[in-house]
Amino acid sequence: MKRTFLSVLNPESLEILTGCLVEPSLAQANADTRYQFERTGYFCLDAPDSREDLRVFNRTVTLRDGWVKD
């Protein structure tokens, strides 16, 4: 069986959160800027999927949880 990137993709890698509260200034978020969401990670604006009334952000880097034992 030939492996493709889809065959090794984590099926739980897509997590959609709705009803999240963010700073009002993110209404003017720029796709070229990265934003840190406290205790969660770094995100960028998903310009193709965002609308004027609904901003979509993709997590690019997670923050390590200091409370979890490795």
pLDDT tens column, 8-21: 888 888 889 998 88
DSSP-assigned letter for residue 59 = E
**Taking the CB of residue 29, how many other CB atoms lie within 10 A of it?**
20
Please tell me the predicted confidence (pLDDT) of residue 57.
Answer: 95
Please tell me the predicted confidence (pLDDT) of residue 69.
Answer: 64
DSSP-assigned letter for residue 64 = P
Tens of pLDDT, residue by residue over 28-68, are 999 999 999 988 899 999 999 999 889 999 999 988 766 66
Please tell me the predicted confidence (pLDDT) of residue 12.
Answer: 85
Residue 29, token pair as written in the block: 């978020």
**Taking the CB of residue 26, how many other CB atoms lie within 10 A of it?**
14
Q: Longest C-alpha distance within the chain, in Å?
A: 49
